[in-house]
A and B are shown apart, each in its own frame.
Chain A
Amino acid sequence: MSETGPIAAKKQPGPARDDPAKGGPVPPATAQRLPGLRTLAPIVPKSGVASQALILVIAIMSFLACVTVGAVSLVNKSASTWQSQIAREATVQIRPSDDLDMDAALEKARVLASEFPGVRGARVISREETVKLLEPWLGSGLGLDELPVPRLVVVTIDEDNPPDFAALRTVIHDAIPNASLDDHRTWVDRLVGMARTMTVIGLCVLALVLSALVLTVIFATRGAMAGNHEIIEVLHFVGAEAGFIARQFQTRFLFSGIWGGVAGGGAATVVFVIVSWWSARNIITPEGEQASAFFGDFSIGYGAYAGVIAVIVMVGALTAMTTRVTVLRALHDIDDRRADPGRLD
């Protein structure tokens, strides 16, 4: 061992040794990495059971949150569709009787309805259409003349300026005693009421799932951070500033959060796509018809996809924020112990 070792060499003054913080020139970063040296390891290690568990937990919770967002969006969309449908259509129903000329009555009802203020148009449901409507219940080959089947006139409503339904009902009933006007309000009000209730319940479930997501992310992040306490202490004692330490952990955990969020949100999106595909493929089957009766075309809508993106962004931001707070709290704790040695007992 020579008496003039690396310390002596390091103490030699020179521009490359000057501290940039004291105004000295920064050494040029032209030197190549010496052969055999690996790329610097990150200060906060990449993997670890805790961080993988964190990603998994975040992915599961994000999936549940995104599916809930999709379900709420679907129900909400259905409620709007039903509400729009009620505003758009009403039906005049004419019951057959011996002394009634059905075709004349239908035409009269159509004309009366068409001319009523607030009505955009009226259309008679033809015999063929009526037969087709009844086919699921009464089978094919039905002869309408043999059965006293009521006939319908569909009245299209001006949604912006709806008619006075009571007056319309009176006009039609006065002209055709066998006719009645069904504005669907009773049924659709119930459906809309139910859909609204489901939306509110869905929003409550979403709020609970998001709260659980927030708490899970916070606790899982803190759990994963617990194993890194030694790194925080070492950085603290080699003179790292609080912001530097927080940044190292924040960056690492931000990626874990985003990765977990993308995995969960991606899985939820795949589920949405599969459900939409199934719905489109089975629209002609009885199951598909039942589903579409409730949920329209069963498409999830852009709102749900925006919700998925919002969940991913929220999870990433939350993870990073929790990490920052945890690191700063750990540093604060070190300082507290410094100020109060009794806490070491």
Chain B
Amino acid sequence: MIKFENVGLRYGMGPEVLRDVSFHIPKQSFQFLTGPSGAGKTTLLRLLFMSLRPTRGLITVFGKDMATIEPTELPLLRRRIGVVFQDFRLLDHMTIYENVGLPLRVRGKEESSYQHDVLELLKWVGLGERVHALPPVLSGGEKQRVAIARALIDQPEILLADEPTGNVDTPMARRLLRLFLELNRLGTAVVIATHDLSLMDQVEARRMILSQGQLEIYE
């Protein structure tokens, strides 16, 4: 689904943040991406999401060489990827219901075709009673769950989550993990970037450990 071959990336004239990174994310796979702060996890996620291009190496996304993808093709490819940003990136003037429905709205879908799904998903992440709330009045954990729901609403082929449990308590973290596992069981590949060892210990999954710009994979 997504393949990295000898990928390197540097910002400007600085040192390489990622060096010779090679891996493959197969369909329906589940993996954690971990490593110390500043190891390049977020950078690697941004490469996966095509919001950065590598300085060297080859990245293939859904069978297409990232170097040759036209800008007009990017939105269509991004629709196949769900992303949970570390800083949530919710739109403050929209209710959480509207934020979660946004990906479907930009695809031109009628609200009547998705309102039930959005409400169900919000119930699932524990926000069924707060559909009218605006993001500024939500706690960090609630914002996190809205961001997750928004990433999942259109059943992406791959989900990239940057510290998705960083702002929630342990029971909610477990609940979200179960949500990711269910999503994975139904066919979505999942990549979770996290520091949370206890979260990783709950699941037998591939671990991709970034350290000093290099990637080690433990199957």
Contact = CB atoms under 8 A, between A and B. Distances in A.
Interface stretch (A38-46, A169-177, A256-264, A266-274): A38-46
B179 interface: yes
B183 interface: yes
A343 B106 CA distance: 28
Contacts of B113: 16, 26-27, 29, 31
B1 interface: no
Interface stretch (A1-9, A183-191, A284-292, A306-314): A1-9
Contacts, number: 139
A11 interface: yes
Interface stretch (A103-111, A215-223, A230-238): A230-238
B78 A338 contact: no
A112 to B, nearest CB: 84
B97 interface: yes
Given A3-B182, A234-B89, A240 B106 contact: yes
B117 A238 contact: no
B217 interface: no
Given A238-B150, A241-B75, A10 B117 contact: yes
A344 interface: yes
Contacts of A343: 12
A166 interface: no
B14 A238 contact: no
B91 A338 contact: no
Interface in A33-86: 33-34, 36-38, 40-41, 43, 45
Given A234-B89, A341-B55, A31 B112 contact: yes
A341 B9 contact: yes
Contacts of B60: none
B13 A11 contact: no
A277 interface: no
Given A1-B124, A335-B71, A342 B13 contact: yes
B78 A237 contact: yes
Nearest to A241: B75
A240 B104 CA distance: 10
Interface residues of A, number: 51
Contacts of B107: 21, 239
A344 B53 contact: no
A152 to B, nearest CB: 76
Say which size band chain B's interface belongs to: 35 or more
Contacts of A241: 72, 75, 106
A7 B155 contact: yes
A239 B71 CA distance: 12
Contacts of A340: 53
A336 to B, nearest CB: 10
A238 B103 contact: yes
A339 interface: yes
A5 B111 contact: no
B115 interface: yes
Contacts of B24: none
Contacts of B173: none
A45 B136 CA distance: 15
Contacts of A1: 124, 175, 178
B94 interface: yes
Most buried by B among A6, A335, A339: A6
A345 B106 contact: no
A227 to B, nearest CB: 11
A40 B110 CA distance: 11
Given A36-B131, A237-B51, 20 more contacts: A6-B124, A7-B183, A10-B117, A10-B155, A11-B155, A11-B186, A21-B107, A27-B113, A34-B116, A230-B91, A231-B91, A235-B106, A236-B75, A237-B49, A237-B83, A238-B78, A239-B103, A241-B72, A341-B55, A345-B14
Top 4 A-B pairs ranked by shortest CB distance?
A342-B12, A239-B79, A6-B120, A240-B106
Interface of A: 1, 3-11, 16, 21, 26-27, 29-34, 36-38, 40-41, 43, 45, 230-231, 233-242, 244, 334-335, 337-345
7 contacts: A6-B117, A11-B155, A11-B186, A40-B98, A41-B98, A240-B106, A341-B10
